[in-house]
Structure 1
Amino acid sequence: MPIEIKELHIKINVNEGSKPPASKSTAKSKDEDPVAECVEQVMKIIERKKER
């Protein structure tokens, strides 16, 4: 018998005073534009969907 989940509750705690953990994106050079990179990835996804 399959189980069907009708509702999912997610609870998180946010500490506004703490610093976010260092990530790989901060290590990148300042010359790279993160918005352009996101747009490029979205365009690739759209192209893949058109091929189907």
Structure 2
Amino acid sequence: MPIEIKELHIRVNVTPPASGQTPPAPGGSPGQPERLTGRQRQELIAECVEQVMKILENKKER
């Protein structure tokens, strides 16, 4: 039996980095996406496939 969520509250606290410290930009340069190695890409694809298969299996059970 599905559960219906009528209201969801999300609270987030963001703290700025300490003065003088700047976090490194992903990918090395601003505005550029980070490049993945072949192994990282394969791991990402495998994880995505696994999650999609779980979702499809859950839908089939309903």
TM-score (norm 1): 0.45
Say which structure, 1 or 2, has more relative contact order (CA 8 Å, 6+ apart).
2
